[in-house]
Structure 1
Amino acid sequence: MKMPLLLLAALAMVLAGCSAPRDLVWERVVPAGDCRCADGSEFTFWERRADPTKVVFFLNGGGVCWDAKSCAFTGDHGESEFYDWSVQGSEPENRNGMFDVTRSDNPFADHSFLYVSPCTGDAHLGNASQKYSPELTVEHRGYVNGTAALSYIAEHYPNATQVVVVGKTAGSIAAPLYGGLVADRLPKAKVTVFGAQSGAWPNNPDFNAGILDARWGAYDTMPDWAVKGLTAQDWGVPRFWTQAGLHNPGLVLARFDFAFDPHAASEVTQWMDGNPPNLLAVITGNEAAIEAAGVRLHSYTAPGDDHGLFEFDKFYEIEVNGVRFVDWLDALITNEPPDDVRCDRCSSS
């Protein structure tokens, strides 16, 4: 019996739809609880619902602050020159780089996404209200906001088998902590942490005590992972990787850096050695300290002083020593983690 032409046409459309890439469509999510932005306004994050077993938890950058000048609510659309203090205009509109889900070489084309933009100036780490002047009170509630999004993943993606925590610039500082928390909540999932462009953030006691603890209240939010006798008061930014890896050896931990990116750690150069500091040396020293503590940190270091990665075509164009970055990243999340890639001639000159 011949199938009617209209039925054949309908079937062809269905089959074509099954094979075609799904558009990147975002839905706004307003979490419950005591979430808020720096100015006290509403916090939201964004979701792209696709394969429920594969999820990207994207911690966006957005700057940091810790005093009356850097934390002031200046600028338009909730953005100052130092940080984003509200989620006005924060909808992820970019469709390039890792967000171009029409590309067959995008490792995340079929993944669900949770896109968490910071609006608290504390790199997704804080839970403190700070009065920096009579006219300026800042809500550093990044940890409250971030863990609300984390709870959303646990509730709405309970059967996830692969979760990739991606941190961009300041968002990558807390990425290993959130990776460990994801693994605690979804113990059957393979959890990969990929942080980009914070490899030069130092482990400096003055910064740890004065900013992480005193300004942001981050030590009060740290998970109870007192491994090897180290409590939260012993943690600095590089040790976030150490603590997460020692807490859960099953985590796949990885980072990307441009060797001499002047913007990736510009806020914290005053806490680095050297004037100006040698950024590549700091990155190399941090990685060596993490691995000396017994944690495997996979790394891809590209040459030059470029900045930006995830939202650009360079996401597909970067190649070092014959290894294309996007292929390295795909192997990291799907197979046995690849060997480290490091530029031989790292200077941009």
Structure 2
Amino acid sequence: MATVWRSIGRRAARGALLGLVTLAVILSGCSSKPGLEWTRVTPGGDCQCADGSEFAFWEWRADPTRVVIFLNGGGVCWDAASCALTGDHGESDFYDWSIQGTEPENRSGMFDITRGDNPFSEYSFIYVSSCTGDAHLGNVTQDYSSSLAVEHRGYVNGTAALAYLAENYPDATEVIVVGKTAGSVAAPIYGGLVADLLPDATVTVFGAQSGAWPDDQRFNADILEGQWGAYSAMPDWAVAGLGVREWGVPRFWSQAARHEPRLVLARFDFAFDPQAASEVTRWIGAEDSDLLEIIDDNEAAIEASGATLHSYTAPGADHQIFEPSKFYDLEVNGVRLVDWLDTLVTGDPPADVHCDQCGP
């Protein structure tokens, strides 16, 4: 991996370039920069969604040297009720486990590439949908009943997208792994995998809204491995020195940092987001009022392991950050999230931001 160099000069140059582009648009009579348009990519092979249907991810090709890998969120499941597929099994209350209809139609928030204050406006995107109920971690067929077999193949699907990244963006110098809600659970693991595939690239991991996923030995053994087969699927470095009960979501960050110390690791959370970790916090008997304490304790444990974890904690019980306009509007302690992210990916990593009045 190349030495991480980030400079004011680089940011100034980018600003000057954007200014010239804007001037050219005005002079040409165009009203705005064209918006993002997705291309469907079907990797084939062993990839599939929970119901056995075809898996696909989505691509927007722009700058081939700067790429965002977006791991979308979605429900997770581990029993016949929560994993119920459409059709004869009835509609799951959590998720439709088929890829159908999941094209990322949004063009707002971080996907609005027409905005000059979007840190990712010039980046290429690889958008990895979630359709396996396993937070992009699984590699197993699970029989939940005599008539319900679920393909937890999130890790197979996700790593196929990473292989596509390596093949089609071999000259990438910057890769930003962005995880949304359950998609952010696996983000540090995927960051380490990207560093292995593209050793000359600077890799930044930004995981949003999984800070309250607990370190719980029973959850690690019974769900992460027992139902999803995640521990068995992982690369050796991700589980090195840890038994299945000791392995778990907060340690994903620690293991990634040990494997590749040059990773830039960062996370975002709303302090009392009741949806971000509803399934797993209920698993350990936590209440919504406990969420901020769990988030802060997890961050402290990760940093105690020697990892550097940059964080932005916003107040309230809000949900969703990447697609709404509040991606640009959110401000805590005088620091806009979008400016904090711009510094994260183009400058020296920023100071942590944490709400003072965090109440839901």
- So what's the TM-score if we normalise by structure 1? 0.92
CA distance in structure 1 between the aligned counterparts of 2:210 and 2:324, rounded to whole angstroms: 18
Counterpart in the other structure of 1:194: 206
Aligned residue for 1:53, secondary structure, equals strand
Residue 264 (structure 2) pairs with residue 266 (structure 1)? no
Shift, 1:330, TM fit = 0.6
- Per-residue deviation, residues 172-227 of structure 1 (Å, max 9, x unmatched): 00000000000010011110000000000001001000000110000111111168
> Is the CA contact 1:62–1:84 (under 8 Å) kept in the aligned structure 2?
no
Superimposed CA distance per residue, residues 117-147 of structure 1 (whole angstroms, 9 cap, x where no aligned partner): 1111000000000110111000000000000
AA in 2 matched with 1:346: C
Secondary structure of 2:236's counterpart equals coil
- Supply the distance in 2 between the matched residues of 1:155 and 1:56 (Cα, whole angstroms): 15
Please name the residue that 2:237 is paired with.
225
One-letter amino acid of the counterpart of residue 115, structure 2: R
Q: How does 1:181-260 map to 2 (within 5 A)?
A: 181-225=193-237, 229-230=241-242, 234-260=246-272
Hey, what's the Cα distance between the residues in 2 that align with 1:347 and 1:243? 32
**1:91 corresponding residue in structure 2:** 103
The answer to whether 1:65 aligns with 2:86 is: no
Give the deviation of 1:244 after TM superposition: 0.3
Offset, 1:62? 1.1
Match in the other structure for 1:155: 167
Q: 1:294 aligns with which of 288, 300, 306?
A: 306
Identity across matched positions, percent: 71
The answer to whether the aligner puts 1:139 opposite 2:151 as a matched pair is yes
**What are the within-5 Å matches in structure 2 for residues 298-337 of structure 1?**
298-337=310-349
Question: Given that residues 41 and 86 in structure 1 are in contact (C-alpha distance below 8 angstroms), is that contact kept between their aligned partners in structure 2?
Answer: yes
RMSD: 2.2
Partner of 1:33: 45
Q: In the alignment, is the contact (CA less than 8 A) between 1:263 and 1:307 conserved in 2?
A: yes
Shift of the 79–342 alpha-carbon distance from structure 1 to 2, 3 Å rule, reads: farther
1:177 and 2:192 matched: no
Q: Which moved more, 1:218-227 or 1:82-91?
A: 218-227
- Contact 2:51/2:98 (CA < 8 Å) preserved in 1? yes
Query: What is the identity, as a one-letter code, of the residue corresponding to 2:354?
Result: R
Partner residue, 2:36 = 24
Residue ranges of structure 1 left out of the alignment (5+ in a row) = 1-11
Map of 1:92-107 to 2, 5 A cutoff? 92-107=104-119
Q: Is there any run of 5+ residues in structure 2 with no aligned partner, and where?
A: 1-23
Q: Is residue 285 of structure 1 aligned with residue 276 of structure 2?
A: no
Q: What CA distance in whole angstroms lies between the structure 1 residues aligned with 2:210 and 2:42? A: 28
Could you tell me whether the CA contact under 8 Å between 1:269 and 1:277 is conserved in 2? no
Give the number of aligned pairs: 336
Secondary structure of the 1:199 match is: coil
CA shift, 1:69, in A, is 0.3
CA distance in 2 between partners of 1:41 and 1:67 (Å): 19
CA contact (8 A) 1:51 1:111 kept: yes
TM-score (norm 2): 0.89
Tell me how far apart the structure 1 counterparts of residues 297 and 257 of structure 2 sit (CA, whole Å): 18
AA at the equivalent of 1:129: T
Contact 2:192 2:263 in 1 (8 A): yes
Where 2:158 maps in the other structure, the secondary structure is helix
Q: Which amino acid aligns with 1:265?
A: A
Aligned equivalents of 1:169, 1:92: Cα separation in 2? 16
Q: Quote the residue 2:178 is aligned against.
A: 166
Is contact 1:204-1:271 (8 Å) kept?
no
> Which deviates more from structure 2 when the two are superposed, residues 297-306 or residues 273-282?
273-282
In the alignment, the residues of structure 1 paired with residue 259 and residue 134 of structure 2 have an alpha-carbon distance, to the nearest angstrom, of 23
Distance 1:290 1:54, change over 3 A: same
Q: Which has the larger radius of gyration?
A: 1
Cα contact 1:52–1:160 (8 A) shared by 2: yes
Give the distance between the partners of 1:84 and 1:126, measured in 2 at CA.
17
